[in-house]
Amino acid sequence: MSAPVAAIDCGTNSIRLLIARRDAEGARPTDLERRLEMVRLGLGVDRTGRFDPVAIERTLEAARQYRELIETHGVAPEAVRFVATSATRDAANRDEFIEGIREILGVTPEVISGEEEAALSFRGAVSTVAGLPEGPRLVVDIGGGSTELVLGTTTPTHRISMDMGSVRLTERHLTTDPPTAEQIAAASADIDALLDEAESVVPFERARSLVGVAGTVTTVTAVAQGLQEYLPDVTHGATLAADDVRALCLELLMQTRQQRATHRIIHPGRIDVIGAGALIWSRIIERVSAVSGITETRTSEHDILDGLALDLLDRTD
């Protein structure tokens, strides 16, 4: 077996760790650890342009826990990669956060571009979902602060990163519980304007499959499947009718936070923002299906984190 690698993805809402190695045949990576902490690092960044000190400390504490796991598995320092995405790109005081991570983990966080984020998500997703139709796949990664769209068959040919995410949209528009019709209309207008721009860069009509990754999509999928506990082996690769997904997304958007909390599989750290994420997913499905004829969605539990791990394994093999 290969030596283990550690990939850490720090987004607007969560920080995630994957420790993996290639199996004896050198094919697919084998997970040794896969962890998630909801730290809401990007709380208020859209409004203030800065990280909240309490949010920074929450994230650094999660990094300390991850350091213990990395040491336990004997991951070499050069086999650790930490990437930060939308919120860190936007925060004026990001150097404070970056220095804290460097002190804890001994690696310098990489504030990657939205385009690189899209490419890594694409690799992680399409390498693991079986039975996709022949032809280009459109991978959608809905995060807390940004959403990436990337089209390709085996490698990306078109990609875009947009400043719309579940946390950003909630803080900007969906501020009451439940949101008002006026708030939903304003949020939808923002999404549609960004999708107009995206469609000029990414040819939606060429897509032959639509693959959603990350917390919003996997959570919506788990609710659609009626799961009472989160089972990634069940949600991964799931095929859902596009119309059913859009109907469920609207339902989640209109519910109160208390009503959403009755779904046991929705992580407590996602309950207040899942409505905004669902609205983004619904509008993307509607836009893509209208021009491509796609009538179903596929779900991948593997995304940028897996793309990072695969990249590390390629470097260290």
Q: Tell whether the model's pLDDT for residue 189 goes beyond 80.
A: yes
| Domain membership of residue 205 as a residue range | 129-300
Instruction: Say how many domains are in the chain.
Output: 2
Same domain, 85 and 189: no
Q: What CATH code is carried by the domain that includes residue 291?
A: 3.30.420.150
What does the pLDDT average to over 253-268? 90
What does the pLDDT average to over 261-289? 92
Would you say residue 306 lies in a domain?
no
Lowest mean pLDDT among 8-12, 117-121, 207-211, 310-314: 117-121
Q: At what angle do helices 114-126 and 304-316 cross, to 10 degrees?
A: 90
Q: What is the DSSP letter of 77?
A: G
DSSP SS3 for 169: helix
Same domain, 96 and 161: no
Whether a cis peptide bond, with omega within 30° of 0, leads into 109 is no
Question: Which residues lie below 8 Å from residue 116, measured CB to CB, with a gap of 6+?
Answer: none
Instruction: Please report, for residues 155, 182, 249, 310, 317, the alpha-carbon distance to residue 27 in angstroms, rounded to integers and kept in the order given.
Output: 18, 51, 36, 11, 12
Query: pLDDT confidence of 27, banded at 50, 70, 90?
Result: low
Let me know if 259 is exposed, middle or buried by CB neighbors in 10 A (0-12, 13-18, 19+). middle
Label residue 237 left, alpha or beta by phi (over 0 means left) and psi (-120 to 50 means alpha): left
Same domain, 160 and 16: no
Same domain, 139 and 109: no
Q: Enter the tokens of residue 210.
A: 């639509």
Query: Which tens digit of pLDDT belongs to each residue from 102-159?
Result: 999 999 988 877 677 778 888 888 877 888 888 999 999 898 888 989 999 988 899 9
